[in-house]
A and B are shown apart, each in its own frame.
Chain A
Amino acid sequence: MADAAVPLDAGAETTVNRPSLLKRILFNNLPAKIAALPMMVTVLVVFVGCTIWTIYYSFTNSKLLPTGKFVGFDQYERLFATSRWNVSVTNLIAYGAMSLVFTLVVGFILAVLIDQKIRFESAFRTIMLYPFALSFIVTGLVWQWIMNPTLGLQTTLRNLGWTNFSFDWIANPRMVLFALLIAGLWHGTGFCMVLMLAGLRGVDEEIWKAARIDGIPTWRTYVSIVLPMMRGVLVTALVIIGSGIVRLYDLVVALTNGGPGISSEVPAKYVFNYMFSGGNIGQGLAGATMMLLTVVIIMVPWAYLEFGGKGRRT
């Protein structure tokens, strides 16, 4: 199967002297291997090599330069003894849970609304998706301005007569994660809607007809029949949104820069700061390794379900 596409020269080789294993590995299908060289280099050097390098040096006491000696789990012990890291992790979990739930729920609701044979469907779709085309920096800066306590929405509504209106989330350590959430949902829910809508439209129309004949109300059909049928789309959305959340960085930099204080710090920012301005590479690498671990924990069950399951079904 794997060599299905190389029958022409492969056949010739078996009749003549069979070349050595090394020669075959190098020269069989040579143009394809040369063409795929950038991919192989990327995989070996970046995705495998750099990952191993990062994990390895996270166990050293590298400070300004990665030349330190092996210190076991010292960096990790320090990491979890640092309040800034712990705040970052707590923030990520809180933000991540809220973001995941709201993105999926809002995305699904929007997709259902769009799916109701409405007028101006493409206009509504365009409006919902355009934020996804913008960068997190633009997103963060616009919302920073809207939520600006002195001249933004809060002041505007107060000036319009709603004098005790309060919307200072961006400057309020307790509420700043919700500020982040508003901006994040603005950016990403349209994308989730597109995914969900594709899932909804993929449901066999005869299922809807059968449900109508059975007299099942529309909402019940969505909840009991269509939603469970969209498992594949839901899982895909979950993985994409989840891995996006772990990466959360640009938006925080633009919207709050981790503030007020350290109340909106996230791991990606912690790692970045230690690597490039904190002068403590070991700490940064240990943080990065923890991020990697998180993604592996998200990915492995998914990969098992998607690909492990497929093998059994066929």
Chain B
Amino acid sequence: MSQTSTMAGASRVAATNAVQEARGPRPKPFFTPRKIIIYSLLVVFSMYYLFPLYVMFTTSLKSMPEIRFGNIFALPVAPNFDAWVKAWTSACTGLNCQGLAPGFWNSVKITIPSTIISIFIAAVNGYALINWRFKGSEIFFAILIFGSFIPYQVFLYPMVIIARELGIFGTLQAVIIVHTIFGMPILTLLFRNYFASLPQELFKAARVDGAGFWRIFFEIMLPMSLPIFVVALILQVTGIWNDFLFGVVFAGTQNYPMTVQLNNIVNSAQGTPEYNVNMAATVLTGLVPLAVYFVSGKWFVRGVAAGAVKG
């Protein structure tokens, strides 16, 4: 070719006989500097993320003398679950030595109803916002979303007063209601966007067939919403289980959820700290969300991504 481009010129000159015989796929060395850099970075980052998990588990399986030896890298010499048993049944928070078990059951009692109620209300909200808009419905929604960014501290005190006036302050009901309220923005957004993505003709056809608000919701919309329910379920179960602030404010001492009890066991214990028990308690508290995370896999990713991406 006469009009060789200046850009490709250099490499054209470099075209040797070897290249003239090039055939098939480009030769690719197994180790390139690029690959080595990528994988070493990934491994270094992975170690940062995995190290605490490793430490948490190994420490919980060690005995105190072993821990005092001062090597948190070491695997337990004689792994045993003594610390786990103690954390579950008899670890002390102040004078109260009942372990984490009551906190676990409180968390269960809070998480299950809060999850169900908040998801149901949000699903209805999302449905009403998309298919049954009324004057002002979008304004309510906008305030709801904006409100989700406001720090909880702004609402806490007046809500305590309201709960006290209603006579539910310091009960499980109060925590459940609070979780329902503060789960509403994100879940409503989730359901609203999901229902908006469904074909509107379906809703219109049901209207023409004479179905009303609730019939369409239960018989048309819900059966099609399984994926978004799974996402919402994951979001709520982990979110509510992990809550600390609402539990400590609204539940009352008898109803403290697991996170609050865990913090009390570790941070307000009397006497010599038992690090193996502390870590066992931490592992136990983390197990539920970890199980949800590892079982749900991609759904969890979808959940956090859906929570972040606005309509």
Contact = CB atoms under 8 A, between A and B. Distances in A.
Interface of A: 2-6, 8, 25, 28-29, 31-33, 35-36, 38-40, 42-43, 45-51, 53-54, 57, 66, 109-110, 113, 116, 118, 124-139, 141-146, 148, 151-153, 155-156, 158-160, 186, 190-191, 194-195, 198, 215, 236-237, 239-240, 243, 246-247, 249-250, 253-254, 257, 268, 271-272, 275-276, 281, 284-285, 287-289, 291-292, 295, 298-299, 303, 306
Listed residue (B52, B67, B69) with the most chain A CB atoms within 10 angstroms of its CB = B52
Contacts of B124: 35-36
A129 B72 contact: no
Interface residues of B, number: 95
B285 A135 contact: yes
A217 B153 CA distance: 48
Listed residue (B146, B241, B292) with the most chain A CB atoms within 10 angstroms of its CB = B146
A141 B72 contact: no
Contacts of A254: 244, 263, 266-267
B151 A246 contact: yes
Given A39-B184, A151-B275, A253 B156 contact: no
A77 B38 CA distance: 53
The 8 closest A-B pairs by CB, nearest first: A135-B242, A32-B132, A47-B147, A31-B213, A133-B293, A50-B158, A155-B70, A50-B155
B10 to A, nearest CB: 12
A292 B131 CA distance: 33
B89 interface: no
Given A29-B132, A275-B156, A127 B46 contact: yes
B301 A129 contact: yes
Contacts of B85: none
A31 B124 CA distance: 11
A236 B305 CA distance: 11
A2 B266 contact: no
B305 A198 contact: yes
Contacts of A143: 52
Nearest to A124: B42
Contact of B38 (A113, A257, A284): A113
Main secondary structure of the interface of B (DSSP, over half): helix
B155 to A, nearest CB: 4
Contacts of B46: 124, 127-128
B45 A110 contact: yes
B105 interface: no
A275 B275 contact: no
B231 interface: no
A124 B304 CA distance: 17
B280 to A, nearest CB: 11
A288 B158 contact: no
Nearest to A131: B49
23 contacts: A6-B134, A32-B134, A50-B159, A126-B297, A131-B52, A133-B293, A135-B259, A138-B285, A142-B52, A145-B56, A145-B59, A146-B52, A148-B275, A153-B72, A155-B70, A159-B69, A191-B304, A237-B308, A243-B151, A246-B151, A254-B267, A295-B149, A295-B151
B164 to A, nearest CB: 11
B278 A249 contact: no
A5 B196 CA distance: 13
A137 B134 contact: no
Contacts of B153: 249, 268, 271-272, 275, 284, 287-288, 291
B50 to A, nearest CB: 6
Contact of B133 (A3, A144, A146, A239): A3
Contact of B290 (A4, A45, A130, A240): A130
Contacts of A299: 146, 149
A266 to B, nearest CB: 11
B144 A35 contact: no
Contacts of B132: 5-6, 29, 31-32, 35
Interface in B288-302: 289-290, 292-294, 297, 300-301
A36 B140 contact: yes
Contacts of A198: 305, 309
A34 to B, nearest CB: 9
B71 interface: yes
B48 interface: yes
Contact of A51 (B69, B150, B203): B150
A290 to B, nearest CB: 10
A137 B262 contact: yes
Contacts of B259: 135, 137-138, 250
